[in-house]
Structure 1
Amino acid sequence: MIEMVIEQRRRSLGGGLDVGRVLPFAKRRMVGPFVFFDHMGPLDVAAGADRSLDVRPHPHIGLSTVTYLFSGEIMHRDSVGSHQPVRPNEVNWMTAGSGITHSERFEKARAVGDHLHGIQAWVALPQEDEETDPGFSHHAGDDLPQWSEAGIQGQLIAGSAYGLVAGARTHSPLFYAHLDMEPGATAEIPSGHAERAVYVATGAIEIDGARHEAGRMLVLGAAVSRMTAAERSTVMVLGGEPVGERFLYWNFVSSSKDRLRQAAEDWKAGRMKLPDADDQEFIPLPDDPFMKPPAMS
């Protein structure tokens, strides 16, 4: 059975960039270690677009960000010196740990125009790894195993599933995959994890005879093992083992509210290094940080 259906809620990141916010949700904060899930675009950007479209420098602690695109290009810069574009079917994996700052720039879009469409997820770190050293890795090619069978083109983004293992280092058991499905194709949903979900990015799928359209995440019970494409569809499958209760404030994730307070104070006081000299217009803290939780609806 399907335990819960979560509809995306449209949110503006400024500069004309809207996302479909899926996680966190008021009645479901996490799926396994996945604590945040944004559907970016689709958005057509004309050449010459203003820099206000860029996501300005901002900090993270206690999580890994996972950026994956269906189309377009985003330039990542961070405070450990990384400068790496991410393109379709590639992964930018940034582990914040004890603290990192980064910006996301649409440099290609400004230069020649672009069609932006993708997913950014956050994976909460286990408590013993929350203060690990920050780091960044880029993954493509053999790091992201692909397969094709019976009307399905699949790519493993992270973790282990479908008999495959992706290249990014993860800190807890999880899986995350992208499936392109032809109409009528039936796909297996990985089992063996305590919490699982599917997200319909485009098209529509059927599970247990019920149709679910794009923009919907389905949190699954243990008995659900398959889904069928009602039309040509792009579906993300994800899940893993829970990592325990997590508190969220703004871009910070932690098992400790005191640690969230400290991170906010460090950012406000300018104690967190910015990505580079060109990244001086940073995102300020919200007006009243503590300890009201972020809006979930």
Structure 2
Amino acid sequence: MLQRGPTVPALGHPLRERLAALRMRVLSTAGRQSDALAVFEDVWGGLAKELGADPSTELRAAGDRGAHRTAAGSATGIGSDPVYEPLRYRLRFPAMAVTMASGEGTRMELVRTVTLLTRWLEEYGPGDYRQLAPPAGREAIDTVTEGKFPLHPDVQAWLALHDGSAYERPSPAGAFVPIDYALLDTARMRQGLRDMEEEVARAMSEGDEEYVVGTMADVCWVPVAANHTGGLLVVDHRDGPGHGAVLEVDPSIGLEGVRRWDSLSHLFDSVLDALVHSRPLLSGSGVPAVPRVHATGPVPPHVVWELHRG
């Protein structure tokens, strides 16, 4: 009898992708698509953790076939494709995310999601894909907070994949996080944190801390994205239940530390799900924003977000 999981004797070592692909085909042919996808997820996680690598073409193809059978009749959106179905499978069963709730689990979930997002952008938003910078080095990542406090594991994992999404500026591409946010590199994160510290110090010296600290600036807010209006997305590093949450600060529209996502991993999950399904995401001001691919003009196709005000 076929067993679930990549560590059964028939597979041997969990990173043997050819055998994993064969096992997935057998499970899928037998109508056990969820078990086939479980093999794909387990092997993919092992590859990312041990080797920092993506699955081979053969293993991806096997995963696509299993996902396609599982998702028959599912909704489609811009760039909808069976290759993204393993993510949809997880999103349909939120309880699966509970097992990824801390430490290494959340880091691996972010790596998986960003890998899927990168592949989507490469195919459907090449302008954005071209803006994804190479990985940041360990030394650069360690300098973001300049030793004041540990950088959140989600931020470290993202930077280890891409040092921001503004590789070639100026360009409207790369701002694929709503609304029009481009991810910052390590140098701009470090400078952004310094700016936060200066603003807090100014507010305290002028007696304005109750109007600024924790609303417009905080010494434990690490900026991770910026838009053209001066808005910032920051990852909250304060102790407490909000640790790791992504907040939005944009004085131009009156946003004062509005909580947008529970984590950076949640941000990427939400963006990818919106792109794949053409689903709106609520902006910080509560207005739905719908993604589309802008494919005219000199800039290669890239994601833009259109506000729908009712």
Q: If the length of structure 1 is used for normalisation, what is the TM-score?
A: 0.28
Mark the structure with the bigger radius of gyration. 2
- Which structure exhibits the higher relative contact order, with contacts defined as CA atoms closer than 8 Å and separated by 6 or more residues? 1
Q: If the length of structure 2 is used for normalisation, what is the TM-score?
A: 0.27
Q: Counting helix residues as a fraction of each chain, which structure ranks higher? A: 2
